Structure 1
Amino acid sequence: MSMTFFNEPFYTLSDFDRLFDEAFSARTSVAPRAQVENVATRPMRPRMDLHEDKDRNTMTAQFELPGLTKENVNIDLRDNVLTVSGEYGMESERDERGYSVRERRFGKFARSLPVPQGMKPQDVKANMNHGVLTVMFPRSTPEQAPKKITIA
């Protein structure tokens, strides 16, 4: 089963506006407000896909982090919450028809998702390849497994 999973503790009204604009722009030819706004002023919010494999008892989260290296990304596990965060600094420069175009984008980002109770840092595996961070962890821990009780 494959699903996109959003888990952020707080959303702003502009986040909801953006989500609705993106959803409805796919059905109409009207450009959403997010495309009209200056992209450089919006905070980076990496896209995340969450996949569940019940047979292997694993969850796999993939984060799109174009232009970043593993040195710019942190993964923390605290209070049953896995947080992927980091800093980005992107610059591009090009010359077009006599005009110089220079664009810069700097900032921080963070995405969090809940993990099973009792998860240990050594249970989490991560790798980064071509701007995609893949994080794997168990879907459930031995502490959550049902315990059989014998009747006396």
Structure 2
Amino acid sequence: MYTQTVQPEHLSAAGQSSPIDNNTIQLLPVPQPRSEPPTRGRQHLRRTPPRSREHRAHPYVRPGSAAGPSQNQDPVIRFVPPILAPVRAPTGPPTPQRPRSSPVSVGSRERTSTSLLLSQASRTLFIRFDWRYDPETTTITAHFELPGVKREDISIRLWTCFYNHSRQVTVYATRHAPFPGATTSRDPAPGSEIFWIEGKYGQCKRSIVVSPDCKPEDIDARYEDGILVLKIQCGPPDDKNEVQMVPLR
């Protein structure tokens, strides 16, 4: 930028001797500060402060810039596109599929049912019974529950145990199932037989200890309405009442 400077008359030492005329206008350059760039026509250009690197690919602001722009930095406006849910094609109701059983599962199911039947057949049930000793008649009266058991399927044995020499009376019976081999239906299908089994069937027994000198004629057995009643003569009681202590080692 250039300005017009006029020389005053009193600053001129000799107007005639000076080679420069007083009325002459001299253009002198105006010193400019180094920090500011040269301007033109009094229009000052403002330098834009450096901006932080923008993440154009990512629509979200990093945590470092979450506090907002500084005083010398203009706020940056970004457009975040809305997140739309994916559009799915309409689907109809699922088609019901019938489960297919593989040969391995069928074979394992058959083996399981067979082993269950064998275990039930080989298992011996215990007969429930109630008994009472009468000191006046010195007899034991026992009532054995045998519902649904026929008379010909009941046997009574008097025997002595070979290892402890105890005298016992044992009642054996067989209870037959009304539906042989049937089990409760787990997955009934239309048109097939359905079973619900709660009873216990097969071999059953129960023993009761009697006096060492008991004989078959000392036992009276009667069976009626699914109840077997045994009256066993025990003989005179033992008056010795021997009680001996066993030492503990």
TM-score higher than 0.5: yes
Higher helix share: 1
The TM tier, using the shorter chain, reads 0.5 to 0.7
- SS of the equivalent of 2:213 reads coil
Give the aligned partner of residue 226 of structure 2: 131
**Bigger Cα Rg:** 2
Report if the CA contact (8 A) 1:91-1:102 is conserved. Answer: no
Amino acid of the structure 1 residue aligned with 2:222: N
Select 2:195's aligned residue among 79, 85, 101.
101
Give the aligned partner of residue 61 of structure 1: 142
Give the aligned partner of residue 118 of structure 1: 213
Percent identity over the alignment is 29
Of structures 1 and 2, the one with the larger relative CO (CA 8 A, separation 6+) is 1
Give the aligned partner of residue 46 of structure 1: 127
Report if the CA contact (8 A) 2:168-2:208 is conserved. Answer: yes
How many angstroms apart in 2 are the aligned matches of 1:125 and 1:44? Answer: 24
**What number of residue pairs does the alignment pair up?**
104
CA gap of 1:55–1:107, structure 2 versus 1, over 3 A, is same
TM norm structure 1: 0.57
- SS of the equivalent of 2:212 reads coil
Unaligned runs of at least 5 residues, structure 2? 1-115, 161-166, 183-190, 241-249
How many angstroms apart in 2 are the aligned matches of 1:145 and 1:102? Answer: 52
Deviation at 1:84, TM superposition (A): 0.4
Select 2:169's aligned residue among 78, 82, 85.
82
How many angstroms apart in 2 are the aligned matches of 1:71 and 1:129? Answer: 13
Deviation at 1:55, TM superposition (A): 1.2
Report if the CA contact (8 A) 2:141-2:231 is conserved. Answer: yes
Deviation at 1:44, TM superposition (A): 2.7
How many angstroms apart in 1 are the aligned matches of 2:127 and 2:217? Answer: 24
How many angstroms apart in 2 are the aligned matches of 1:83 and 1:43? Answer: 13
TM norm structure 2: 0.36
CA gap of 1:101–1:63, structure 2 versus 1, over 3 A, is same
Give the aligned partner of residue 54 of structure 2: none
Unaligned runs of at least 5 residues, structure 1? 1-37, 148-152
